[in-house]
Amino acid sequence: MFFAFTRYAVSILIIVFFNSVLYSQKEAILTKKFSSTQLKQDAKVLKDALLKVHPVIGIYQTRPYCETLLNDFINSLTDSLTEKQFRIKTKVMLGNLHCAHTEVSFSKEYSKALKKAKLHFSRYHLMPFDNKVYVMSGINRKKDTLLKQGTIITKINGVPADSFQKFAQKLIPSDGYIEESKKFLSQIYYGSYYTTLLNYPDTLTYEYIKDNKTKTIKTPTLYTDKVPEYVFRKKDDSLFTKYKRAKMRYRYLDNNKKTMHLNIQSFSHRKYGKAYKKIFKQLKRNNTENLIIDLRYNTGGSLANCTYVLRYLLNEQQTLTSYTTIKKYPYKKYTRGNIFFKITKLYFSSYGKKSRRNDTTYFTFKIKPLKKWHYNTKIIVLTNGVSYSASCLLSAYLKETKRAVFIGRETGGTIEGCNAVITPHYKLPNTKIKVRIPAFRLLHDVYKKGNTGTGILPDYETNYTIMDIIQKRDLEMEKVMELIKN
């Protein structure tokens, strides 16, 4: 009995010891600092890769501007920084390139440590709206009830609650000069941005408004490795027919099958051809009069998928152009995937018309309408600030050919095109953070007004109030039903 107890006690001590060692290692990774010399070396690699690879140089800012921006960034690295601090600084700088596909991610080692680490979170889901911050719900709806839904938070630990959203928007990349996506994402991810960047202390003091009076309350934080997401939308409708691999679903909104709601959640690389064939076959056979294409929260995906569905929708042939200024990736020791870049160029050469101007190689493709199961009647497209990349390609062609009516908010991607197709990740030598740098620019040939830096604007703009959000109303679908009814 004694020896059994001793073995048990020793096992517990060993587990506690190794857990404490692992925890110390995680903490060391998260708080490790890099010298100014190391950071400058990383920044110089980033500068050279951007100037040699990125097709955005010269689009929204001149090359001399970008060179000055990157040189100033290198010169600003005079102190040692943690990986997180360097990443934040890098993200703010890269925002000046106006490219949503240029992103900075943690190193593999840091990401592993972060997943296992516990952090201090607010006990409430908060959301900024119209320069105010509102309580949406408690994390634990039974226990966290001191602050009621809809309460306005004015300060958190003495700092204006809305000031953080303004800073967070600098960290969110967007195409062109679009602010809608930054505003939208900083709203719905307010809590996670706050925690990731600043870390909550053990306790939080909220200053809030009640009965037109300012009051304060002090609460302990929630110490955990994960907080459940607050769902801003209604639960999925069980009536949808889903194509899981193709990342799309549809349902008819009436018994006569005159209106279909097609939600393309992402432009998947898998099984989309069969899914579209079945859907458009139904539309034709049922003489469906209204097709609602829901692109809200669709951040993009497969170019082939997007151009394929366009063939069912466009009435006339259109072209799409992609170009690159490089023949192969520079600094190959800091990146991978050069073989995929070569395969993509070979594929583009086989299926598109290739041409060269100076150091730039262009590939132009035809988008030919399909005759069988082609959809000829009314299209309504729903968009918001998180409609990016391929979503904007589909939207731009439907908008400029006057094939659809648009409802919602300005898209997160620009109407003229974006930087995408192949996006290698450069792993910087010291911090090991990864910077995603597009190698191609995609041009929506249907748009003739040049680089405006604006998204696809809706014909009917939806403007939510905080009560609409709390009640989880769907203003876009409400407008759809109003248009169809009338």
pLDDT in tens, 390-420: 999 999 999 999 999 999 999 999 999 999 8
Contact between 439 and 367 under an 8 Å Cβ cutoff? The reply is no
Type and span of the H or E element at 107: none
Residues 6+ apart with CB under 8 A from 95: 170, 171, 172, 173, 174
pLDDT at 23 exceeding the cut of 70: no
* pLDDT computed for residue 86 by the predictor: 96
What does pLDDT average to over the chain?
Answer: 90
Mean pLDDT value of segment 450-479: 95
295 pLDDT band, cuts 50/70/90, is very high
* pLDDT computed for residue 19 by the predictor: 42
14 pLDDT band, cuts 50/70/90, is very low
In tens, the pLDDT along 277-294 reads 999 999 999 999 999 999
* pLDDT computed for residue 228 by the predictor: 78
Cα–Cα distance, 134 to 136 (Å, whole number): 6
Nearest to 459 by CA among 485, 484, 480: 480
In tens, the pLDDT along 305-330 reads 999 999 999 999 999 999 999 988 88
Does the predicted TM-score (pTM) go above 0.95? Answer: no
Parallel/antiparallel/unpaired status of strands 159-160 and 203-210: unpaired
26 pLDDT band, cuts 50/70/90, is low
Cα–Cα distance, 282 to 411 (Å, whole number): 29
Distances (CA, A) of 346 to 5, 23, 270, 366, 421: 68, 48, 21, 17, 13
Of the CATH numbers 3.40.640.10, 3.40.50.10860, 2.40.50.140, 2.30.42.10, which one belongs to the domain with range 119-224? 2.30.42.10
* pLDDT computed for residue 27 by the predictor: 64
Lowest mean pLDDT among 89-93, 237-241, 317-321, 407-411: 237-241
Lowest mean pLDDT among 20-34, 209-223, 374-388, 461-475: 20-34
Instruction: Identify the three-state secondary structure at position 134.
Output: strand
135 pLDDT band, cuts 50/70/90, is very high
* pLDDT computed for residue 115 by the predictor: 83
457 pLDDT band, cuts 50/70/90, is very high
Cα–Cα distance, 13 to 272 (Å, whole number): 54
Domain ranges of the chain: 33-116, 119-224, 241-485
User: Would you state the CATH architecture of domain 241-485?
Assistant: Alpha-Beta Complex (3.90)
* pLDDT computed for residue 118 by the predictor: 82
* pLDDT computed for residue 18 by the predictor: 37
